[in-house]
Amino acid sequence: MTPSGPRGRSRRSPTSSSPRLTGSWRKRSRRSWASAPHPAAIPRRWGVKEAREDLPARVLSALIGAALLLLVLWAGLPLVLPALVLVLWLGSLELRGMFLRRGIGLNLPLLLGGGIFLFFLSLPQLHWHFPQVPWREVALGLFLIGGFSYELLRGADLSRFAFTLLAFLYLPWTLSYALPLRHLPDEGLGMWILSLPIVASFATDIGAYFVGRAFGRRKLAPEISPGKTVEGSVGGILVSFLALVLYTGLVREVFPFGLLELWLFSLLLSLAAQLGDLAESMLKRYCGVKDSGRFLPGHGGLLDRIDSLLFTLPLTYFLVVVFT
């Protein structure tokens, strides 16, 4: 009779309840592990779930940002100029943090000071009174002189100078076009003109995000932005074009352009928005970061939200000058 405990249960050794690690079991184990799919081959279902969980935060942040943006547009220069200075400050901090990951420093005082000086030289009132002076080029020339002078006195770090110049052209130079656009051709129409690149940028981001999530298969630029797809890019362009056509059609009487010109605006601005998104992705890829920062919940950094706008603002200014 088998020995048993106080309640009649048979006593077994601690290892007798587990299967013996026989040779055949080891072979089967090796075969099962060898036949298991590589983690890279497993579909990334968690990415969809993560995106769905971030969607409420993205929507809330977008609604708040849109409301603040409408307020700034309506108020004109009294709020446009302070808003641009705030964006310049936050964006410069994000650029500095990104480049520091590559061991590259930025001359932050020169970038901020030169950017604010450029904003003041881009005010439309200055161009009205002295139209013969190329004020923006004056600001760029003084920035170059200041940058070279700083490096001659502080160690001649040419990489710091070069990347500070890149940051200056990328952020304050492109942002400053919002100031003349707000009063081009006049203060009343300027609000509507400035709304064109904003609508194009937001519509492109929304279209590319949702179309890419639903239908994205082929990579657009895998070495620059692995998450972007050809389908998402085409969807962003189409959504932006349709949004601009609908928007300009509803308020067409306020725009001093013909119908074909508005359609051309829509197509070119949607393409520029895509280019701006890819340009910022290239910078992030170079610096080895996924987001430029954590300023906006569900959206990443501030530069992640205005990357398209940095390319659509200058293009809108050029198109308006050419067609008016």
User: Over its length of 324 residues, how does the chain's per-residue pLDDT go in tens digits?
Assistant: 444 444 444 444 444 444 444 444 444 444 443 444 443 343 333 344 444 546 566 666 666 766 777 788 787 778 889 999 999 999 999 999 999 999 999 999 999 999 999 999 999 888 888 888 899 999 999 999 999 999 999 888 999 999 999 999 999 999 999 999 888 877 778 888 888 888 888 888 888 888 988 888 888 888 888 888 899 889 988 888 888 888 888 877 777 777 788 788 888 988 898 899 899 999 999 999 988 888 766 567 889 888 889 999 999 999 988 887
Residue 43: predicted pLDDT: 38
Angstrom distance (rounded) from CA 311 to CA 225:
18
Query: Is the CB of residue 101 less than 8 Å from the CB of residue 288?
Result: yes
* Residue 7 within a domain: no
Q: Please give the residue range of the domain that contains residue 177.
A: 57-323
Angle subtended by helix axes 45-75 and 187-215, to nearest 10 = 180
Tell the residue number behind the tokens 């500095």, with chain if given.
Answer: 96
Residue type for position 162: A
Q: Helical H runs in 101-155?
A: 108-121, 124-129, 135-153
Burial of 223 (0-12, 13-18, 19+ CB in 10 A): exposed
Query: Is the CB of residue 269 less than 8 Å from the CB of residue 236?
Result: no
Angstrom distance (rounded) from CA 260 to CA 292:
37
Residue 16: predicted pLDDT: 44
Residue 218 CB contacts under 8 Å (≥ 6 apart), including other chains: 229, 230, 231
* Residue 43 within a domain: no
* Residue 10 within a domain: no
Angstrom distance (rounded) from CA 214 to CA 225:
18
Residue 58: predicted pLDDT: 62
Q: Where are the beta strands (DSSP E) in the chain?
A: 219-221, 225-229
Cα 133 from chain centroid? 34
Tell the residue number behind the tokens 């001359």, with chain if given.
Answer: 107
Total number of domains constituting the chain? 1
* Residue 32 within a domain: no
* Residue 2 within a domain: no
Residue 257: predicted pLDDT: 76
Residue 57: predicted pLDDT: 65
* Preceding omega of 185 cis (within 30 degrees of 0): yes
Residue 8: predicted pLDDT: 45
**Which stretch of DSSP H or E encloses residue 73?**
helix 45-75
DSSP symbol at 11: P
* Residue 262 within a domain: yes
Contacts made by residues 182-188, CB under 8 angstroms, sequence distance 24+: 182/73, 182/76, 182/77, 182/80, 182/124, 183/77, 183/124, 184/124, 184/317, 184/320, 184/321, 184/324, 185/256, 185/320, 185/324, 187/76
Residue 324 CB contacts under 8 Å (≥ 6 apart), including other chains: 184, 185, 256, 257
Query: Is the CB of residue 268 less than 8 Å from the CB of residue 204?
Result: no
* Residue 5 within a domain: no
Query: Is the CB of residue 92 less than 8 Å from the CB of residue 167?
Result: yes
* Residue 241 within a domain: yes
